[in-house]
Each structure stands twice: as C-alpha cells, then as structure tokens.
Structure 1
Amino acid sequence: MEDFTTFICYRLKSTMKKVEKRFGQVLEEFGVTMAQSFILFALLEQDGCALTEIGNRTQIDNSSLTTMVDKLEKEALVERRPYALDRRVVALHLTDKGRDLALKVFNAGAAINQELSNKLADDKEPFINALTNISETLERKNLANK
C-alpha cells in the first residue's frame, strides 16, 4: 500500500497549510486574513467589481465572501455600492483607508511570494505551469460531473 503522505493532494494541502500560517503571521500586523487580503488585492486590480466577480477571482464561496466583506466594511476598508451596469448587483469599492492598507498588505504578500519563489529558483515556471494544468484539469472534470 502506498503511503498517503506521498499523494500529491496531501503534499499540496500540507504545503498550503504552512504557507497560510506564514502569510497569516505577517497579516496579523494588518488585522486581515489571507482570504480578506485576496479581496483587497482583487479590488486593487479592479475597484468596483461585483461581489460575484470577486468571489470567482479569489476562489471564495459566496457565503464566506459576504461575512468577510461585512468585516472589511465594518473596518471602513471597503464600501458596497450599486453596480454601474446593473443596479440590482452590488459592487465593492476600496475606501482611501482600504487602498492604503491593501497596498501595504500587497507589498507584504509580494515579499512572501519572493521568498517562496527563491526556493523554487529555476523550477518556478514549470512548477507554476504544472499547478495551473492540474487546476484547469480538475475544474473541467468538476464541471463535467455536475
């Protein structure tokens, strides 16, 4: 019988748990979680996104997304407004305070990303391509099984 700790899914989960812990330690200073930081990053890229777009981009489920956005809104980092193209849809916007924090958090995240990239050295591009390939293959299979 094969040792389950050699399974790719186990190794990915184990590594991601350690990455989340490392990133979480850095984010404590800013008072946001890793998932909340991804929301802020998405808004840095495209402020005024619909919540569904942010959920898709950040891979956060709608139920969790709403709770996270509520906290970010309570901290005056984001605000909800009607979406310009469809007033029935809610768009999320960074406040000035949110943009300042998002930039600081992004810089901290970029430093961790560089730290991880340095461990990969010349293997970074093939590694990223392999992860992307796995992700896309699994997504197609998941869609086919619905």
Structure 2
Amino acid sequence: MEVLKLKNQICFPIYALSREITQLYGKHLSELDVTYPQYLVLLVLWEHDTQTVNQIGEKLFLDSGTLTPLLKRMEAKELLTRKRSTVDERVVEISLTEKGLRLKDKAACIPSQMFDEMNITKEEVDAIRTITNKLFAFNNKK
C-alpha cells in the first residue's frame, strides 16, 4: 500500500507549500493592510482595470458567493468601487480607487522579496508555474 503513504501523494506537498507561501505573503501584505485574497483581486485590477465580478471570479477561480463579501470588504477599505452596469443591472463592475491604485507602487517589491526569502530564482519559479499550469489545463479538460 505504498500509494497510500503521505510521502507518495502529489496533493500534500502542493497543499502544504501553498499554505506556507500564503503565510509568507501575509507578512508583506499586512504592511499594505490587505489579505492574500484581496491582493489577488488587486493584481487582477492592476492588470485589467475595470472588471465585472464574473471576470474577476474567472481569473481567480472563485465563485461570486466567495468574491462578493471579499469585494465588499475591499470597498469598505476604499480600495475599489462596485457599480451596477448601465447596460445590464445584473452585472456589477469593479474599479480601483486612487487608494487602490497607489498600493501598486507599494506592492511592486513583494515578488522579488518573496524570491529572496524562498531562496528561489525567477527561472525556478517559471518552471513551477509551467508545471502548475499544465496541471490546471489537465483539470480543466475534464
């Protein structure tokens, strides 16, 4: 029954590593007064400007039930605005405020700090990203 040993599972090291990396990000993000999920939303909006809730959810693999409370908390922190679309009132558009935009400059150093703290090169990160994207592609074919 070697296959049922923890050390032989693909899921466990990925799960444990994800938790460790998220905690490490948390140390940096606390200075910005944002959580890791809020940081992910900011990354999407810094890259794509105004997005609908559904567009953000697709990019982050989150459903609107998870995303909506997160966005409300970010709106309360004045990082973004939520506004109903004038074309379709069922659609909520999310835009960054000036405060949310200013955080981009403060967050710019986080990726390199993460590389340094994890003692990992950009090339190694790219290799990990390639493998995880391959796994995501496999999972999404089902």
Same fold (TM over 0.5): yes
Alignment partner, residue 88 of structure 2 = 86
User: AA paired with 1:48?
Assistant: T
* Residue range with higher mean Cα deviation, 34-43 or 110-119: 110-119
In the alignment, structure 1 segments of 5+ residues that lack a partner are 142-146
Distance in 2 of aligned mates of 1:52 and 1:58: 10
Question: Identity of counterpart residues, as a percentage?
Answer: 24
Distance in 1 of aligned mates of 2:112 and 2:122: 15
In the alignment, structure 2 segments of 5+ residues that lack a partner are none
Among 52, 55, 58, the residue aligned to 2:57: 55
SS at match of 1:91: strand
Deviation by residue 1:7-47 (Cα, 9 ceiling, x = unmatched): 11111001111001100111111111111101111111111
Query: Which 4+ residue blocks in structure 1 deviate beyond 6 angstroms?
Result: none
Distance in 2 of aligned mates of 1:35 and 1:128: 19
* Residue range with higher mean Cα deviation, 21-30 or 120-129: 120-129
Deviation by residue 1:42-64 (Cα, 9 ceiling, x = unmatched): 11111110010001112222112
Distance in 1 of aligned mates of 2:103 and 2:41: 12
Among 16, 19, 25, the residue aligned to 2:18: 16
Alignment partner, residue 71 of structure 1 = 73
Instruction: Give, in angstroms, the shift of residue 130 of structure 1.
Output: 1.6
The 1:6/1:109 distance shift into structure 2, 3 A limit, reads farther
Higher RCO (Cα < 8 Å, 6 or more apart):
1
Instruction: Give, in angstroms, the shift of residue 86 of structure 1.
Output: 3.4
Spell out the pairing of 1:60-139 with structure 2 (5 A cutoff). Answer: 60-83=62-85, 86-105=88-107, 107-115=108-116, 119-120=120-121, 122-139=123-140
The 1:123/1:71 distance shift into structure 2, 3 A limit, reads closer
TM-score after normalising by structure 2: 0.85
Count of residues paired in the alignment: 140
